[in-house]
Amino acid sequence: MTSFITAVQNEQPNFNLNNSRLRLVSGTSNPKLGEEIATYLGIKNVPLVSKRFADGELYVQIQQSIRGCDVFLIQPTCAPVNDSLMELMIMVDACKRASARQITAVIPYFGYARADRKTSGRESITAKLTANLLEKSGVDRVLAMDLHSAQIQGYFDIPCDHIYGSPVLIDYLDSLGLGEVVVVSPDVGGVARARAFAKLMKDAPLAIIDKRRSAHNISESLTVIGEVKGKTAILIDDMIDTGGTICSGASLLKKEGAQKVFACASHAVFSPPSYERLSAKDLFEQVIVTNSIPVSNNQYFSQLKVLSVANMLGEAIWRIHEESSVSSMFR
């Protein structure tokens, strides 16, 4: 498996882009990630003007011809979620009207994904609604990373490539030499994700935290299923939002005798009061996330480690452009 840990400037790019019609356009939600992906591919992002009118409406203009090009729009739909999503759809429309040959929405973090089914009456399935909006705006295909649930791929009636941040996280964890580890799912719903992660970590043992959620963003940990005493526990989840789930899980693991606790997640949503919870003394050895969502300076704390997924996304973009296999990246 290729190492995707860091985005390094290639002096002699491995990609033959002399006559390529591949174009990258980065939105405003994570421009640094867009720059790193462009660096990996050895090209420059297409200039984009994005501004706001006095009443809050968004204006987008592509500053270079993309006629007949294979355009990849890089835009995680992170906070402010509505603005990020609307800007992405406006970018799609601008590309469509500029006669782009194919438009791929590269969405490292897919917002509105948590409401992926009805759990009670009179609820909206916003994951499906968002997929419909993107399709109607003119997106030809989607490249997403670590969707909240894999079934969201089926909400699109266009091709959807789904990649995983786990290779980046596992490469880093392997470099730490942690010894005897146990992979822990913070809830029953994340067991499949944790099992796949444990398999990649040389078939590490698996433990599960059985919890009961009383309301949105509020969770109550009950018990640990599995042996964690004297081991290094790795809590794995797709995202860390307020930090309630992962922190209550870490506290329980400490009580059960875990020697060290690491938290791993692909998406650092980090809504308040996540900073206070995650930076608590003697709780986590490290909190490891990717840069699918930008982490602002006031969200950094001593235990936080942010890994880049730019190389992995860049590789996937190149393979889509060349019409070769994306899934073989993870074999």
- Is 281 a known active-site residue? no
What is the four-CA torsion angle of 190, 219, 294, 159, rounded to 10 degrees? 40
Strands 22-26 and 232-240 turn out to be unpaired
Query: Contact 70/21 with Cβ under 8 angstroms?
Result: yes
Instruction: Give residue for tokens 């590789």.
Output: 315
Burial class (CB in 10 A: 0-12, 13-18, 19+), 206: middle
> How many other C-beta atoms are found inside a 10 Å radius of the C-beta of residue 236?
25
Beta strands in the chain (DSSP E): 22-26, 48-52, 58-62, 70-74, 102-107, 141-145, 160-163, 181-185, 206-215, 218-225, 232-240, 260-268, 286-290, 304-307
- Which of 32, 51, 211, 260 is catalytic? The answer is 211
Locate 195 and state its tokens: 């099992």
Query: Contact 204/178 with Cβ under 8 angstroms?
Result: no
Report long-range pairs for 130-139 (Cβ below 8 Å, ≥24 apart).
Answer: 130/77, 130/85, 131/155, 131/156, 133/85, 133/89, 134/88, 134/89, 134/92, 134/105, 137/88, 137/89, 137/92, 137/93, 138/92, 138/93, 138/95, 138/96, 138/103, 139/92, 139/103, 139/104, 139/105
**Helices and strands (H and E) in the chain: how many:** 8, 14
Instruction: Give residue for tokens 């146990």.
Output: 182
**Where in the sequence numbering do the catalytic residues fall?**
211
